[in-house]
Amino acid sequence: MHNNEDANLDRKEAPIRERGIFVEIENIERMKHMEGWKTMKTRQIIKEMNVYRENLSEANRALFDKILLKVRFSKIRERDAEEFSYYCLDLFLQAEKENRSVEEVMGTNDVNQFCDDYISGIRENYNIYERMYLKIKYVPMILFIFVGIWELLISYMIPNIIAGNSVSLDTPITLALVIEFIVVMFITEIAMKYAAKISWELNHQNTRHTQMKYFFIIFGIYLLFVFGFVGIKLLFAKIILFHLNFVFFISTVAMIMLIQDYYDNKVVKN
Amino acid sequence: MNNKSQLLKGSLEGCVLQIINLKEETYGYEIAKILKDNGFTDISEGTLYPLYTRLQKNGLIKSTMKESNLGPLRKYYSLTDAGKEELSEFCESWKYLTEHVGNILGGNII
């Protein structure tokens, strides 16, 4: 019978030796012979990947990271992204053991095509509601962080409390806030498209040129944001569309995010 | 994609079920290797993994995690009873198809 507690994976500091020699992992308690992934939580999969990817050669690790980032930033469930990455890690390790190239094992030289095949294949398994949900899955997070915490709490309620003004929990939703929310949604969508590529380049092609390139791009976007949002606030901050109870809003959005987390990490039944 | 690849892809699910059936319990890397060694040279793991997920979701195969000497746990697949039924139906359909298509292509038409 299986223990339903999560296995602990404590990675003590271990020297990474020459390629081909495994990183030593102390105090591992893992489930042996688990059925499905029932007791293996997503965060444990991620922990193990972080450990075992160190056993790959530098070139294969870079390739693996490309796959990892691409599937993580795609519009699929988090669980599906992590499971596939974990599976790829095993393939890569197997290929190295048999002295085969990972391209041969993957069945293609084109990493992007490889990932696209998986992403389109796994999305075929989703029903229409799942696909629609995955298109907008960042909305609750943006509502919570940007609207709830940043705009309503930090930019409106706290300054008013500090100034000694009376503050009601019914916070005003202005036209400026709605426009800013739409802009943030748009920027997030674009950022998700390039995040994998930028993250990979900063990790594996971290030259001075790359650093400077992304520094100027991100600084430029930051300036655009600042000036843009100041302009929006100056023009539209006084137009109040409706009022929203802050506690109700934050707790509703938080609950949606919890449900999302559950769905994103739900295990496929056997 | 040429005709051969399309035809092979159409029979992929049945072939995967049969490989799992013959091996009784096997894992993704081994399934892919057998497919590649038996004509499916263009097949990519990116295409296969969602297939395993779909077969599992539909109750045709089940998985068991086992330790491997490489580190990450490995998912081993085996057929369920529903999977065996599905495989049997696929084999019948395939036999029917190849017989009749073979007749037509061989000029043996009524």
What would the pLDDT profile of A167-206 be if each residue is shown by its tens digit? Answer: 788 899 999 999 999 999 998 888 888 888 888 887 777 7
Task: Grade residue B5 by pLDDT with cuts at 50, 70 and 90.
Answer: low
Angle at which helices A58-72 and A111-124 cross, to 10°: 40
- Rounded to the nearest angstrom, the minimum Cα separation between B109 and chain A is 39
Evaluate if residue A20 carries a pLDDT over 50.
Answer: no
B45: Cβ contacts below 8 Å, ≥ 6 apart: A87, A88, A91, A105, A106, A107, A114, A118, B28, B32
pLDDT digits (tens, 9 = 90+) for A55-93: 999 999 999 999 999 999 998 998 999 999 999 999 999
Query: Residue A268: what pLDDT?
Result: 60
Residues of B in contact with A82 (CB under 8 A): none
Residues of A in contact with B47 (CB under 8 A): 107, 117-118, 121
Query: Residue A236: what pLDDT?
Result: 92
B29 in contact with A, Cβ within 8 Å: yes
Which chain A residue's Cα is nearest to B31?
Answer: A105
Alpha helices in chain A (DSSP H): 42-52, 58-72, 78-97, 102-106, 111-124, 128-135, 139-142, 158-162, 175-204, 208-236, 246-264
Q: Average pLDDT, stretch A23-30?
A: 41
Asked if B46 and A114 come within 8 Å (Cβ–Cβ), the reply is yes
Which chain B residue's Cα is nearest to A267?
Answer: B57
Query: Residue A103: what pLDDT?
Result: 86
Q: Average pLDDT, stretch A99-108?
A: 85
pLDDT digits (tens, 9 = 90+) for B35-44: 989 988 878 8
pTM confidence score: 0.77
Domains and CATH numbers, chain B: 3-105 (1.10.10.10)
pLDDT digits (tens, 9 = 90+) for B48-78: 999 999 999 999 999 998 888 888 889 999 9
- Rounded to the nearest angstrom, the minimum Cα separation between B106 and chain A is 34
Asked if A125 and B65 come within 8 Å (Cβ–Cβ), the reply is no
